[in-house]
């Protein structure tokens, strides 16, 4: 039996209300959108979802990472390889990026299922993440939200079996972004809804049911990607589905999360699923993918520590629309009157891959003292070259001390620099993120998160930052 072994969703901490966007341009709207922090992108959000998905599991058993996104930080450089390095997966791990379509997530899922069924791979981590931009004062700007999700596909410990897969391709220019565009574009609304999503998804679902010999009444839940709640209701009505069986897309809570949306909604469904529940998943983007699943008795025992209700309720508001524009670098600001930032060295970054990407230090074999970065001489007992690898990324920690720098360059001033003490030993000095400066206190619980450190010289430098732990 091949199917989903584990799953998790991730939403950034910040929300921008549609009313605040309306304040800037006139008009308004209900609800809010999730906004990735100034130091987050699709890759870092995928890492967050992956870490949650793999908690308590043997990472050494994962031999594939598929990353799906229309907003990968690079046009030519594989994000999945970076993610595998951050997760400290084996060098033999097969990595692949899927892009170009909002159904790239389900494209990746199908590829993962096929690989596991064929025996080519045993366990594949499928990640979908988006950080899409709509043109200012446009409908997409209010609609798009940022987020990520992870599914671990395998044949052992399955919590939801994959029963059938059906795909159809459809050529249409409805929602698109060329290689020359930064912002997503869309054709006239009625054309997009009536001849795109509203036509293709019902056709694909009906064909998938006919091919599998199932009926709509057989399913406990329908997970259907949709640009908004209204269009989801239109499609559900077209298919004559029981509204109570249609999974909410959470449009008012965090917006349309693109390729990640269907996986985030699936995570919400699996959190509530019972053994034997049949689930139909449909995604859209120049065609449609339809996947049917059945929850196994193990579904109740493998729920993420942080489920979707945690992410929906744990949030901070972005105070102004102008702050959002600054974070996304949509408006040009006067640069600081300082010397240009020194370009980092790709050679140095490559040399420090393990300590930088995986936050690996060492632990002295003689006295047991963890230390970061890697040392040759133990700072505690003085022994030389007698260490074992030690990861700090998942260790509980507290804030030892901090300072706020109001003069440093920051997209979210002041810059908060923290000294973090880890349970079991070890200290790291790093930036803090996702924090309210007024609420920072010595001794508060801290967790480490993988973030963008800077973009200089045409490439991104990633590292780890501390943030207040919110449970």
Out of 3.40.50.300, 3.40.718.10, 3.40.47.10, 3.90.950.10, which CATH number does the structure's domain 3-327 have?
3.40.47.10
Q: Quote the longest CA-to-CA distance of the chain.
A: 73
The per-residue pLDDT for 51 is 98
Q: Are 72 and 88 in contact (CB under 8 A)?
A: no
Give the DSSP letter of residue 229.
Answer: H
Measured distance CA(444)–CA(436) in Å, rounded: 13
Give how far Cα 76 sits from Cα of 40, 79, 193, Å. 19, 9, 32
Q: Are 425 and 369 in contact (CB under 8 A)?
A: yes
The backbone torsions φ and ψ at residue 131, rounded to the nearest 5 degrees and listed phi first, read -145, 65
The per-residue pLDDT for 400 is 98
The per-residue pLDDT for 92 is 96
| Residues facing 127 on adjacent strands | 67, 150
Structure tokens belonging to residue 212: 């599998």
pTM: 0.96
The per-residue pLDDT for 282 is 98
Chain center to CA of 402: 29
Do you find a cis peptide bond into 242, omega within 30 degrees of 0?
no
Phi/psi-derived region of residue 74, left when phi > 0, alpha when psi is between -120 and 50, beta in every other case? beta
The per-residue pLDDT for 23 is 93
Measured distance CA(393)–CA(88) in Å, rounded: 11
Q: Does the structural domain 346-356+392-468 have CATH classification 1.10.1740?
A: no
Measured distance CA(363)–CA(378) in Å, rounded: 9
The per-residue pLDDT for 410 is 86
Measured distance CA(125)–CA(50) in Å, rounded: 8
Measured distance CA(29)–CA(19) in Å, rounded: 5
Q: Are 356 and 349 in contact (CB under 8 A)?
A: yes
Measured distance CA(117)–CA(379) in Å, rounded: 50
The per-residue pLDDT for 29 is 85
Report the DSSP pairing between strands 64-68 and 94-98.
parallel
CATH 3.40.47.10 residue window(s) in the chain: 3-327
Nearest Cα to Cα of residue 426 among 385, 470, 375, 467: 375
Measured distance CA(94)–CA(83) in Å, rounded: 12
Radius of gyration for the alpha carbons in the chain, expressed in angstroms and rounded:
23
CATH 2.40.50 residue window(s) in the chain: 346-356+392-468
pLDDT block averages, 10 residues each, the chain of length 471: 98 97 89 98 98 96 98 97 96 97 98 98 98 96 98 98 98 96 95 96 98 96 96 96 96 97 98 98 98 97 95 96 95 78 85 86 95 92 95 96 89 94 95 96 98 93 96 86
Measured distance CA(132)–CA(290) in Å, rounded: 24
Do you find a cis peptide bond into 414, omega within 30 degrees of 0?
yes
Element spanning 16, H or E: strand 14-17
Q: Are 160 and 3 in contact (CB under 8 A)?
A: yes
> What sign for the dihedral angle of Cα 225, 175, 184, 138?
negative
Nearest Cα to Cα of residue 6 among 166, 163, 124, 147: 124
């Amino acid at each position: 039996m091949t199917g989903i072994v584990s799953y998790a969703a991730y939403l950034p901490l910040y929300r921008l209300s549609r009313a605040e966007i309306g304040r800037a341009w006139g008009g308004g709207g209900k609800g809010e959108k999730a906004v990735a922090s100034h130091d987050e992108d699709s890759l870092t959000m995928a890492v967050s979802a992956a870490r949650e998905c793999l908690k308590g599991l043997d990472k050494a058993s994962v031999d594939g990472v598929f990353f799906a996104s229309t907003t990968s930080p690079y046009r030519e450089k594989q994000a999945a390889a970076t993610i595998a390095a951050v997760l400290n997966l084996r060098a033999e791990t097969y990595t692949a990026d899927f892009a170009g379509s909002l159904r790239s997530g389900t494209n990746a899922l199908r590829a993962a299922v096929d690989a596991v069924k064929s025996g080519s791979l045993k366990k594949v981590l499928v990640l979908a993440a988006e950080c899409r931009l709509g043109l200012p004062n446009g409908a997409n700007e209010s609609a798009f939200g940022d987020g990520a999700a992870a599914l671990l596909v395998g044949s052992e410990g399955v919590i939801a079996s994959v029963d059938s897969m059906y795909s159809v391709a459809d050529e249409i220019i409805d929602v698109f972004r060329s290689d020359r565009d930064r912002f997503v574009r869309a054709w006239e609304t009625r054309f997009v809804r009536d001849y795109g999503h509203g036509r293709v998804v019902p056709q694909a679902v009906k064909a998938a049911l006919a091919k599998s010999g199932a009926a709509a009444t057989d399913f406990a839940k329908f997970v259907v990607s949709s640009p908004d709640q209204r269009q989801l209701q239109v499609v559900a009505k077209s298919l004559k589905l029981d509204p109570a069986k249609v999974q909410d897309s959470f449009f008012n809570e965090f917006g349309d999360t693109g390729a990640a949306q269907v996986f985030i909604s699936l995570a919400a469904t699996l959190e509530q699923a019972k053994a034997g529940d049949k689930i139909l998943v449909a995604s859209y983007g120049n065609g449609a993918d339809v996947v049917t699943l059945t929850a196994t008795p193990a579904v109740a025992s493998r729920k993420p520590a942080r489920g979707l209700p945690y992410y929906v309720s744990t949030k901070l508001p972005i105070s102004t629309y102008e702050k959002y524009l600054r974070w996304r670098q949509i408006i040009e600001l006067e640069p600081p009157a300082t010397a240009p930032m020194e370009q980092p060295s790709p050679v140095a970054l490559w040399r420090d891959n393990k300590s930088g990407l995986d936050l690996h230090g060492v632990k002295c074999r003689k006295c047991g003292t963890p230390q970061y970065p890697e040392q040759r001489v133990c700072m505690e007992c003085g022994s030389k070259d007698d260490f074992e690898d030690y990861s700090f990324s998942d260790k509980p920690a507290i804030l030892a001390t901090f300072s706020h720098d109001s003069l440093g360059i920051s997209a979210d001033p002041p810059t908060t620099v923290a000294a973090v003490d880890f349970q079991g030993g070890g200290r790291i000095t790093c930036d803090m993120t996702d924090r309210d400066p007024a609420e920072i206190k010595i001794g508060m619980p801290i967790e480490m998160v993988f973030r963008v450190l800077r973009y200089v010289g045409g490439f991104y430098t990633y590292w780890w930052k501390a943030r207040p732990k919110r449970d």
